[in-house]
Structure 1
Amino acid sequence: MNDISYRRHLAKTITWRLVGTADTILLSWIITGNPFVGIQLGIAEVTTKSILYYIHERIWYKINLTSKGVKLSSKKRHVLKTITWRVIGTLDTVLLAWFISGSTVAALQIGTAEVVTKMLLYYMHERVWYKINFGLANRKNR
């Protein structure tokens, strides 16, 4: 991978974390009625999700999934990786929301809402980045 592609991945990571954190802050504020719960959750989430995401990436880098000796296709692997990350990410949000808000109901509501909003926002984020050539030296506009 060349140097410019690393910049692309870093830029995608940062923009997604900003979008994802803003989503969590807004959902938490709406559900709890307290903007400070949203802000505290957003700040905590940046740290925990960064650590958890790194661990998740390292695990997926090291595992070799096969079915009866046949390696899984990249699409199946990406689906499994996406599902495992969403489970980890949502559990992280629910636990943080419970700790910060003190309410299991609010924490579960935030986590449930987040599953839907994060999938929609992530899809839109990917579509925007699909159109951007930054970090893709050999690609022309699609």
Structure 2
Amino acid sequence: MGDISRKRHIAKAITWRVIGTLDTILLSWIISGNPFTGLKIGFTEVVTKMILYYFHERIWFKANVPDSKKRHLYKTITWRLLGTIDTMLLAWVISGDPFTGLKIGGAEVVTKMLLYYLHERAWYQINFGLGKRNTKK
């Protein structure tokens, strides 16, 4: 089951990164006023966030927390903390302005929490990469 779950986690990482990158590019463009800053931040995040997301998934896969909406909420919160810190640091370095990093990170907390929760719920309905699933929701 290990290889199967890894395939699931890689697929989830890819789908989330597409959604997350588009959100980051749009927010960074709006906040910085520069579309190229938005693109630089968004595309840099593709690498950092894919790596961070994969390890986040692996940790949660091994966590002894029953499948439930609460589990998805906890995963949403821990991922958002990790992701926001990454975004703020990248936005600061790329824009050269720590306040731009803080603004982008602050805006992302709201948009990404909602998007991530919806992404988790959608993936919960998909059996790709799972052997047998506990039927509790």
TM-score range, shorter chain: 0.7 to 0.9
2:93 paired with 1:99 = yes
Query: In angstroms, what is the RMSD of aligned CA positions?
Result: 3.3
Deviates more, 1:80-89 or 1:94-103: 80-89
Determine the structure 2 residue equivalent to 1:74. 65
* Paired residue secondary structure (1:74): coil
Structure 1 residue 54, shift from structure 2 partner: 5.3
Determine the structure 1 residue equivalent to 2:103. 109
- Which has more radius of gyration? 1
2 CA distance for matches of 1:46 and 1:35? 17
Gaps of 5+ in 2: none
2 CA distance for matches of 1:128 and 1:120? 12
Gaps of 5+ in 1: 65-72
Please give the TM-score of this superposition, normalised by the length of structure 2: 0.73
2 CA distance for matches of 1:28 and 1:111? 9
Structure 1 residue 80, shift from structure 2 partner: 6.5
1:10-30, CA deviations, whole angstroms, 9 ceiling, x for partnerless residues?
Answer: 211110111111111111011
Structure 1 residue 82, shift from structure 2 partner: 5.2
Structure 1 residue 83, shift from structure 2 partner: 4.1
Q: Is the 8 A contact 2:72 2:117 kept in 1?
A: no
Q: Is the 8 A contact 2:28 2:37 kept in 1?
A: yes
* Paired residue secondary structure (2:129): coil
Counterpart selection for 2:120 from 119, 123, 126? 126
Amino acid at match of 1:90: T
2 CA distance for matches of 1:128 and 1:88? 21
